[in-house]
């Protein structure tokens, strides 16, 4: 039998599982997908039992691929969601997820907070965060609210299913709009001011603490031994940064997938009453990170490719000089976060003339996503370094990597780590079990530096900013 650490990454549309050897090597990796339901306009929900079934299936497959002995378990998960449960941990309604926008009216309760309270939240306001969604349930589903005894983040419900213990960690709690970020505790004054019950908030433990052990029932379902320690765990982004070792405040990481994130560690939270970027706790025992979040990256390119009838390779290979013959694409198909913070923002191709063809539209789409990442980067506190890490599958195509490097104007060094969030959860599991924390299996590529063509993107980027301002009536 080979001793392994089990890392479980509970994503929005699927769960990933890794078995990490005590030497840091990945011994097995599996995944399962599940559906996000939209039963109303702006809704995004999943029954939590669907997560459990998918996790049990994925863990079973991973363990069945060899002879393994799981010595510790760690979990991470999608941020901001809300699972309301009774005293036994049984959900009283489906989980509401971060893309959910139904709580727009409830955000007004946070907008009305005095500036000193808003400052301590250290985050922009969004309807998909846990606090506004919890207030929405109180106002619109009072029976479900009254039956609830605990409000959990997604990974915290999954860990409760494993251990029977209610808890959360600072990295997830800091993303709820109910957390005093500089104070590193629940913001009780905010909870009272917006009219929520503080008794619903779970106890808080460090990400690398042992929150409990696998129960006999969970052991049977997941083919584990009862009594195996389970770490409290972390939010997905925090777990990823824990795995990639991004800890120096001078470092920067750009991740591109369906969305994009630009992240830098912080020694202390930024102080602003109306921030445009997010500030969350790290998975380590101290520290924070700032994040500029772009919702529309790969998701916008996938849409543009389908509309134009182009494959991914054809989309990236669209010919033309920087600037796409005067065509600008704003990729806000699902609203946008950093820096516009507008769930109602929408996409557009602008500047088309009779000479504009499919190639120009494709080129504008790829440039528009790169411009959105730069726009987010410029909103992040601090100056951009000369070099940043580049992560995520969306940044893999060489043509897009070249474009992004030139648009951002900094060198980008690829860093690859399979199932990074799940690996981060497994590393937290080792710490929770008192075991030596193994090195993460990172792969580094050579940095790509800006080419002479970088200057040619400057006019097109300024045109992009003007277009965004025109479409949205000004960017905050």
What is the CATH number that goes with domain 2-238? 3.30.420.40
- Name which residue leads in pLDDT, 56 or 268: 56
Q: What is the mean pLDDT of residues 236-244?
A: 92
**Residue 240: is its pLDDT beyond 70?**
yes
- What is the predicted pLDDT for the residue at 150? 98
- What is the predicted pLDDT for the residue at 193? 98
Say how far apart CA 476 and CA 471 lie, in whole Å.
13
Q: Contact 47/35 with Cβ under 8 angstroms?
A: no
Say how far apart CA 45 and CA 39 lie, in whole Å.
8
The percentage of residues in the chain with a pLDDT greater than 90, rounded to a whole number, is 78
Count of helices and strands (H, E) across the chain: 16, 22
The CA-atom distances, in angstroms, between 354 and each of 326, 348, 358, 360, 464 are 12, 17, 12, 11, 20
**Residue 383: is its pLDDT beyond 90?**
no
Q: What is the mean pLDDT of residues 356-365?
A: 94
Both tokens of 239, joined, read: 């777990």
Burial-class residue 326 by CB neighbours within 10 Å (0-12, 13-18, 19+): middle
pLDDT classification of 476: cutoffs 50, 70, 90: very low
Q: What is the mean pLDDT of residues 332-351?
A: 90
- Choose among 13, 176, 10, 7: nearest CA to 78: 10
Model pTM? Answer: 0.90
3-class SS at 335?
strand
- What is the predicted pLDDT for the residue at 263? 94
Say how far apart CA 278 and CA 276 lie, in whole Å.
7
**Residue 474: is its pLDDT beyond 80?**
no
pLDDT in tens, 55-71: 999 999 999 999 999 99
pLDDT classification of 475: cutoffs 50, 70, 90: low
- What is the predicted pLDDT for the residue at 155? 98
pLDDT classification of 347: cutoffs 50, 70, 90: very high
The average confidence (pLDDT) of the chain is: 93
pLDDT in tens, 269-323: 877 778 889 999 999 988 999 999 998 998 899 999 999 999 999 999 887 789 9
Say how far apart CA 204 and CA 298 lie, in whole Å.
35
**Of all helices (H) and strands (E), which one includes residue 289?**
strand 288-294
Say how far apart CA 451 and CA 90 lie, in whole Å.
56
pLDDT classification of 343: cutoffs 50, 70, 90: confident
- What is the predicted pLDDT for the residue at 464? 97
Say how far apart CA 332 and CA 321 lie, in whole Å.
24
Burial-class residue 473 by CB neighbours within 10 Å (0-12, 13-18, 19+): exposed
Q: What is the mean pLDDT of residues 254-260?
A: 88
Both tokens of 126, joined, read: 């969004």
């Amino acid at each position: 039998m080979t001793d392994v650490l089990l890392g479980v990454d509970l994503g929005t549309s699927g769960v990933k599982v890794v078995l990490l050897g005590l030497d840091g090597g990945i011994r097995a990796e599996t995944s399962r997908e599940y559906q996000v339901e939209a039963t109303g306009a702006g809704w995004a929900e999943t029954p939590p039992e669907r997560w459990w079934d998918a996790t049990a299936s994925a863990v079973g497959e991973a363990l069945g691929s060899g002879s393994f002995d799981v010595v510790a378990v760690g979990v991470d998960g999608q941020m901001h969601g809300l699972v309301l449960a009774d005293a036994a941990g049984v959900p009283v309604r489906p989980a509401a997820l971060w893309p959910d926008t139904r709580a727009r009216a409830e955000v007004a309760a946070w907008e009305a907070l005095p500036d000193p309270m808003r400052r301590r939240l250290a985050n922009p306001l969004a309807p998909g965060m846990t606090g506004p969604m919890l207030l929405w349930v109180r106002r619109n589903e009072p029976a479900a609210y009254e039956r609830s005894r605990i409000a959990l983040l997604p990974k915290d419900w999954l860990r409760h299913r494993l251990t029977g213990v209610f808890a959360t960690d600072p990295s997830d709690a800091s993303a709820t709009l109910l957390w005093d970020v500089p104070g590193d505790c629940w913001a009780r004054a905010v909870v009272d001011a917006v009219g929520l019950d503080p008794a619903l908030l779970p106890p808080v433990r460090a990400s690398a603490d042992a929150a409990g052990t696998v129960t006999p029932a969970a052991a049977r379902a997941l083919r584990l031994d009862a009594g195996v320690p389970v770490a409290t765990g972390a939010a997905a982004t925090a777990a990823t940064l824990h795995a990639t070792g991004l800890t120096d405040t001078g470092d920067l990481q750009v991740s591109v997938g369906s969305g994009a994130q630009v992240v830098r560690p912080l020694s202390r939270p930024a102080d602003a009453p109306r921030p445009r970027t997010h500030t969350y706790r790290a998975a380590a025992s101290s520290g924070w990170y700032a994040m500029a979040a772009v919702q529309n990256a790969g998701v916008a390119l996938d849409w543009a490719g389908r509309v134009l009838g182009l494959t991914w390779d054809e989309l990236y290979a669209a010919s033309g000089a920087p600037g796409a013959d005067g065509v600008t694409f704003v990729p806000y198909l699902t609203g946008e976060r950093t820096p516009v913070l507008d769930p109602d923002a929408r996409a557009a191709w602008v500047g088309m003339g009779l000479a504009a063809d499919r190639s120009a539209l494709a080129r504008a789409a790829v440039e528009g996503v790169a411009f959105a990442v730069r726009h987010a980067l410029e909103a992040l506190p601090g100056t951009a370094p000369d070099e940043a890490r580049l992560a995520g599958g969306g940044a893999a195509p060489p043509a897009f990597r070249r474009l992004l490097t030139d648009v951002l104007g900094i060198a980008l060094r690829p860093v690859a780590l399979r199932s990074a969030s799940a690996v981060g959860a497994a590393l937290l599991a080792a710490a929770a079990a008192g075991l030596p924390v193994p090195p993460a299996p990172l792969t580094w590529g050579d940095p790509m530096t800006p080419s002479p063509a970088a200057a040619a993107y400057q006019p097109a980027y300024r045109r992009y900013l003007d277009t965004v301002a025109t479409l949205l009536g000004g960017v905050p």
